[in-house]
Structure 1
Amino acid sequence: MAAYPLPEGFSDFDMITFGLALLVEGLLGFCLNSVAGLSFLLVKDQRTPSNFLVFNLNIADLMLNINALIAAYASYVRVWPFGIEGCHMHGFLGSIAIYATIPLLALIARDKYHYWCTQEQLSWSTSGMRCASVWVAAVFWAALPLPVIGWGEFNFEPMGNCCCLDYTKGDWGYISYMLAVTVIYLLTPMMIMHNSYAAINTYFKKTHSFKFNTYLPETVLLATWGPFALLCFYAAVENVTLVSPWFRMVIPVWAKSGPIFHAVIYSFTNETYRGAIWKMLKGGQNPDKSKMS
């Protein structure tokens, strides 16, 4: 480890701290989303069209967990060991995970709206088509910054332990790509989530029965990815390299905590999912309803 020079602006303690944070995020998120995903595959009653949306969210979050674990390893060895091609692939796969996760959050919100407000049931054909569309679009938009196309660009983050969209250039290619994905993958999903949960909240007020916190999903999305979006916007108008590398590293590391919150909100605090997880862990026995309240 000592043979490699430390990245500019970082101490050995910083490398250990960020690496440990990424390791904890990656392992915890991987365990939680793996258990939730396995419950969908192994518990027959769990396999519904609505839960299929959550299952796809588990898969997308698992991809981001693996992304974090690779970054944690690179922090430990103090150098990116996979070359520039590995950097491009790391950024590509991480972008697929992000571009799949956020639309899936919007689809889940819309499904909840129909369940509570219109009593419409999601069909398997609709659920499958929507999930397939999400993944195809995610691969398409994540591939655009690859060298073969070159709209935007993947490059190392300040600590050199992981790769993402290069926001340091601030050229027109970066600005146009960033604006496009912001509209498609942040503003539009946020609008869908806000409208859906606002309608559900109104329904809960009318029935005087609040089944879940309708503000939490939007809050978590904004809290985890909002700071990174602001950093990208700032890079479009100012020289972001003047911002402390340490601060620019904290933001993406924090964003990678999203899969942990998603697993808790959409799986472990969801009564149906929680019951199936408990059933799976008990070897197929029926969950104790009295313990689920």
Structure 2
Amino acid sequence: MDDKYMSKLSPTVDFWAGIYLFIIAILSILGNAAVLVNAARRITLLKAPELLTVNLAITDIGMALSMYPLSISSAFNHAWIGGDTSCLYYGLMGMIFSITSIMTLAVMGMVRYLVTGSPPRTGFKFQRRTISIVISGIWLYAGLWALFPLLGWGSYGPEPFGLSCSIDWTGYGESLNHATFIMSLSVLCTFLPCLTIVFAYFGIAWKLHKAYQSIQSNDFQYGNIEKKITLMAVMISSGFLIAWTPYVIVSFWSMFHSLEQDHMAPVITLLPCLFAKSSTVYNPLIYFVFQRTSSHKLLRLQRLVFCCSHQASSSAERAELESKIVKGSDGSDKACVGLMGAPGRHPGSEVTTVS
């Protein structure tokens, strides 16, 4: 067997790496399968943005099913199984699912940013057909980048520790071909999507913070709602970045220090790779926590903001509005909705819920 496919780790480290990957694979399959089953049961009720969450679950479970068995087997074998052919397959699948995942998260963030806090007249409402087209575009985009190494721009190769395959990061300094591919891939498929995720979710947190301030009084106790929604935003935006940042750092170090590759302990290159794979496990947890804990609170806060933005100008009407909102603050939005549609209000100002 080619030496580049022999494990650079000790048999003990390989064994425990295989156990870890096996656990990650099981949890990922079960968690994402639960998301897909839940979506299938309410397929007719799914709102357009929820299709992005379904797509994210498909990429995560696809990665667990198509890639993890090969890496687990190779870890227990103490050498990569299948040689060049399986390495090419593994790198191809990794590119497709990784790019699809990060682009889906970026689009999901932008969709939620656009619909959060929008007033009824100018609010964004995405159709399922529109989101379906966007998802198809994401898969085509990922497939195109995955095919480039097969067409001669860039290449796939084994990771330094010998039990995984990815882009040949060490080829960056060897040719202009590799350098241009890696830099283009890094900017268009890593840095820009990551900046979009950070901007979108912290933008959501800022919108909700400003909305809370605009309606804050001694009678409104919405601080906890704001904190929980902000926490969800931080979880979603930071979870993926935390998982993949160590891998990106090590990969970029390999790019610019290819001649010093032998001086880095193989286990140092292994750990970021294992940590990155954990992202397929907690994505389903984020989905369930966000959807079932915070969505109804987000909608309640949005409705309250919309309601207050349409309140009458006279002090008497303002007092009446505040009284009705306070009475409905026990969890019912009916007072606000009724007031929005009351005679004498602005036409077309009914509450529009968004997801």
TM-score by length of 1: 0.84
Report deviation, 1:108.
Answer: 0.9
> What is the match of residue 125 of structure 1?
129
Cα distance, 1:9 vs. partner?
3.6
**Other-structure match for 1:152:** 154
- Flag the 1:20–1:158 CA change in 2: closer, same or farther, 3 A: farther
Q: C-alpha separation between the residues in 1 aligned to 2:253 and 2:179? A: 10
- Give the corresponding residue for 1:42: 41
Task: Give yes or no for the alignment of 1:264 onto 2:285.
Answer: yes
Q: Give the ranges of 4+ consecutive aligned residues of structure 1 lying more than 3 Å apart after TM superposition.
A: 6-9, 272-275
Give the TM-score of the pair, scaled to structure 2. Answer: 0.70
Determine the C-alpha separation between the residues in 2 that align with 1:135 and 1:273: 29
Equivalence map 1:70-85=2 (5 Å): 70-85=70-85
Count residues with an aligned counterpart. Answer: 269
2:239 aligns with 220
Structure 1, unaligned runs of 5 or more: 276-293
Contact 1:168 / 1:241 at 8 angstroms: preserved in 2? no
Amino acid at match of 1:156: P
Question: What corresponds to 1:164 in structure 2?
Answer: 166
Deviates most, 41-50 or 120-129: 41-50
**Does the CA-based 8 Å contact 1:63-1:97 persist in structure 2?**
yes
C-alpha change, 1:274 and 1:159, in structure 2 (3 Å) is farther
1:174 and 1:24 map into 2 onto residues whose CA distance is: 35
Q: Give the partner amino acid of 1:200.
A: I
Distance 1:35 1:125 in 2: 24
Alignment root-mean-square deviation, CA: 2.3
Aligned partners of 1:144, 1:175: CA distance in 2, in Å? Answer: 13
What's 1:235 paired with? 254
- What's the CA shift for 1:197? 1.5
Q: Report deviation, 1:7.
A: 3.8
* Residues 157 and 166 in structure 2, CA contact (< 8 A), matched pair in contact too: yes
Letter in 1 for 2:165: C
> How far, CA to CA, are the matches of 2:154 and 2:43 in structure 1?
43
CA shift, 1:259, in A, is 1.0
1:244 aligns to 2:259 (yes or no): no
Tell me the residue number matched to 1:18: 17
* Secondary structure of the corresponding residue to residue 20 of structure 2: helix
Give 1:157 shift.
Answer: 2.1
Pick 1 or 2: higher relative contact order, CA cutoff 8 A, min separation 6: 1
